[in-house]
A and B are shown apart, each in its own frame.
Chain A
Amino acid sequence: MKWHKIYGLSLRHFYLIKSSFPRLIDLIYWPTIQIFLWGFISKFFTESSTYYSNTVGIILTAAILYDFLFRTSISYNMMFLEEIWSRNFTNLFIAPLKISEIITALTLTAIIRTLIGLVPAALIAIPLFGVSVFKLGIPLIFLLLSLYVFGVTLGLLVTAGLIRFGPSFENVAWASLFFLAPLGCIYYPIEILPDWLQTISKILPLVHIFEEMRNILINDIINYYSIFKGVIISLFYFSFGVVIFYISYSGARKRGTLINMGE
C-alpha cells in the first residue's frame, strides 16, 4: 500500500466537505437532532415514571454510540456513492490503485466525517442533559473501536453490493442499519428478545457492545472479556466484508459494470 495514494483519495473527500458549507452542516445536523430527540424523550420518561428513573444517561449514551455506528457506515457509503453520482468511477478504477488502498482510504476518511458530526452532538449533551458519553471511561475507546470496525464492515458490504448490482443498490445502503438495529439491543436488554432472536443477535457485535455499555453505567462494572468479544466479532465481520468486496470487484470486472457506472 502506498500512503500518498491513500492520502490522495482521502483528500478528494476533505475538499468536498471543505468546499460546501451545507454539506458540513448536514454532517453535524442529524447527529445533533438525534441527541436532542432522545435527550428529551428520555428526560420525559425519567420525570414521569419511577420505572425509568436514571435512564436518561443510558438511553442518551446508547443513542450517541448507535449514531457513531450509523454515521461511520453512512459516511463510508456516501463517499463511495459520491464517486458514482459524479461519474468519476471509471477514472478511479483506471488509476493505479490497489483495492486495499481504496478500502483503507474510505475507512480512514469515514472516521473523520463521523467525528465532525458526532463530537459537537456529544458535547452538547453534557450541558443540556447532564450526560457525558466520556463517563464510560477507558472502555469507551474499545466500544467505539468495535462500532467503528462494524460500521465500516456494513459500509463495505453495501459498497460491494453497489459494485455488484449498480446504483440501484443505493436503497439498501440506507436501509442496512435499520435492519440490524432491532437485533442490536441498542436501547433495551437482550432478554426482551425471544430466545431464537437472542441466539441470532449474539452473533452480532452490537449486543455485546450495548450490553456492556449498560453494565458499566448501571452496575459500574467493567467486563473486558465482553468488550473484547465485541471487538473480535467486529474484526471477524470486517474480514468477511473485505472478502465480499474483493469478490464483488472481481464479479464486476467479469460483468463489465465498472466502465459505465453512473447515476
Chain B
Amino acid sequence: MKVEVKNLKKKFKKIEAVKDISFQINKNQTLGLLGPNGCGKTTSIGMMLGLIEPSGGSILIDNKNINKSEKNYLLEKINFASPYVELPKKLTVRQNLEIYGRLYGLKNLSERIDEIGEELNLITFLDKKTGELSSGQKNRVSLAKSLINKPKLLFLDEPTASLDPDIGDFVRNYIESYKSKNDLTILLASHNMSEVERLCDKVIMMKEGKIVDRGTCKELIDKHGRNNLEDTFLKIARSKNEMA
C-alpha cells in the first residue's frame, strides 16, 4: 500500500502537536519515523490509523482517505503493534488471536493461528493466558495479532522496546523475513537506531511537531557528518535551529 500524507496538522486546544507535515511511503517500503518523546510521532500514527481526526491536511492510503467513508475498507488491510497497547490478559493467546481474526473477517482462522503461531514460536503457550506471559512472549503475541489479517500496511510503534537483545533480534529477523515474502509497507517508530538502520529504507526525523530532516539512513549520517544514526539523531534532537 502506498501512503501519502499531505500538509497534516493536529492542534489540541492551543498545542500544535503536528505542524503541517508531508511525506510519502511507497508500496513495500519501510519508513522510520524518528524523533524525541513528544515530537508528534504517536499523534501522527494515530491520525494515519483513523483514531485521531486531523485538524488539517489529508492522509491517502492507496488514494483512499482514511478519515472518510473508506475507513473500514482500509482498516481491513492495516494493522498496528505497540508494547503500550495490550491484549486482554485473562484470555488465552489463541482466544485473543481468534477474536481479532474474526474482527478482521478471516477465513480458515485456525489454520492462520497455527501458521502465525509456528512462525513466531507461540505454539508452546498458545493456550496460556496472555497475562501470564513474559514481556518477550507478549511482544511476539502482539506482533502475531498485528499480522493476523496479513496486512498490507503495518504500523509498528517501538516493536522491540523492553526486549532482551536475543528476542529483539528474533523480532527484527522475523519482520525482515516476513516482509521479504509478503507485500507489506511498514511505518516504524523506534528509538532503537540500529533497528532503524537495519529495517528502514528511509527515515524522517520529527521534532516539535515538524519534519526536520529526511532521507536514507546513510544520507542522513553523511549529511550530518556522524558515524551512525544514533549520533545523527542526537545531533538533530539537540540542535536549536531546525533544519528544513
Residues of A near any B CB (own CB < 8 A): 2, 4-5, 7-9, 11-12, 15-16, 19-20, 82, 86-91, 93-98, 250, 253-256, 258-260
**Bound complex: CA A258 to CA B47 (Å):** 11
With a 10 A CB-CB cut-off, give which of B88, B95, B98 has the most chain A CB atoms: B88
**Bound complex: CA A90 to CA B85 (Å):** 7
13 A-B residue pairs with Cβ-Cβ distance under 8 Å, sorted by A, are A8-B98, A16-B90, A16-B91, A86-B89, A94-B51, A95-B75, A95-B100, A97-B72, A97-B103, A98-B72, A256-B17, A256-B46, A256-B52
Closest CB of chain A to B86's CB: distance in Å?
Answer: 4
Q: With contacts A15-B99, A97-B103 known, what are 17 further pairs, Cβ within 8 A? A: A4-B102, A8-B103, A11-B102, A19-B92, A20-B90, A86-B88, A87-B86, A90-B80, A91-B80, A95-B103, A96-B73, A253-B52, A256-B10, A256-B46, A258-B51, A259-B43, A259-B51
Residues of A within 8 A of B72 (CB): 96-98
**Bound complex: CA A95 to CA B100 (Å):** 8
- Select from chain B the residue with minimum beta-carbon distance to A88: B88
Residues of A within 8 A of B75 (CB): 94-96
Interface contact A91-B12, CB-CB below 8 Å: no
**Bound complex: CA A32 to CA B211 (Å):** 60
**Bound complex: CA A250 to CA B52 (Å):** 9
**Bound complex: CA A20 to CA B73 (Å):** 35
- Select from chain B the residue with minimum beta-carbon distance to A93: B51
Interface contact A88-B85, CB-CB below 8 Å: yes
Interface contact B88-A82, CB-CB below 8 Å: yes
Interface contact A91-B87, CB-CB below 8 Å: yes
Contact with A along B55-91 (1 / 0, CB 8 A): 0000000000000000011011011101011111111
- Say yes or no for B105: interface residue by CB 8 A criterion: yes
Interface contact B84-A15, CB-CB below 8 Å: no
Residues of A within 8 A of B89 (CB): 86
From 227 to 242 in chain B, residues with beta carbon under 8 angstroms from any chain A beta carbon are none
Closest CB of chain B to A105's CB: distance in Å?
Answer: 10
Residues of A within 8 A of B95 (CB): 11-12, 15, 19
**Bound complex: CA A119 to CA B90 (Å):** 26
Residues of A within 8 A of B79 (CB): 94
Interface contact B52-A12, CB-CB below 8 Å: no
- Say yes or no for B187: interface residue by CB 8 A criterion: no
Residues of B within 8 A of A254 (CB): 52-53
How many A-B Cβ pairs are below 8 Å? 107
- Select from chain B the residue with minimum beta-carbon distance to A4: B102
- Select from chain B the residue with minimum beta-carbon distance to A254: B53
**Bound complex: CA A250 to CA B91 (Å):** 30
Residues of B within 8 A of A258 (CB): 46, 51-52
**Bound complex: CA A98 to CA B92 (Å):** 25
**Bound complex: CA A255 to CA B92 (Å):** 33
- Say yes or no for B49: interface residue by CB 8 A criterion: yes
**Bound complex: CA A61 to CA B106 (Å):** 46
Closest CB of chain B to A83's CB: distance in Å?
Answer: 8
**Bound complex: CA A88 to CA B103 (Å):** 14
Residues of A within 8 A of B102 (CB): 4-5, 7-8, 11
Closest CB of chain B to A87's CB: distance in Å?
Answer: 4
**Bound complex: CA A90 to CA B80 (Å):** 9
Residues of A within 8 A of B104 (CB): 95-96
Interface contact A9-B88, CB-CB below 8 Å: no
- Say yes or no for B50: interface residue by CB 8 A criterion: yes
Interface contact A12-B78, CB-CB below 8 Å: no
Residues of A within 8 A of B12 (CB): 255-256
**Bound complex: CA A82 to CA B91 (Å):** 12
7 closest A-B pairs by beta carbon, nearest first, are A8-B102, A96-B75, A87-B86, A259-B46, A253-B53, A95-B103, A96-B72
**Contact partner of A94 among B42, B49, B91, B99, CB < 8 A?**
B49
Residues of A within 8 A of B140 (CB): none
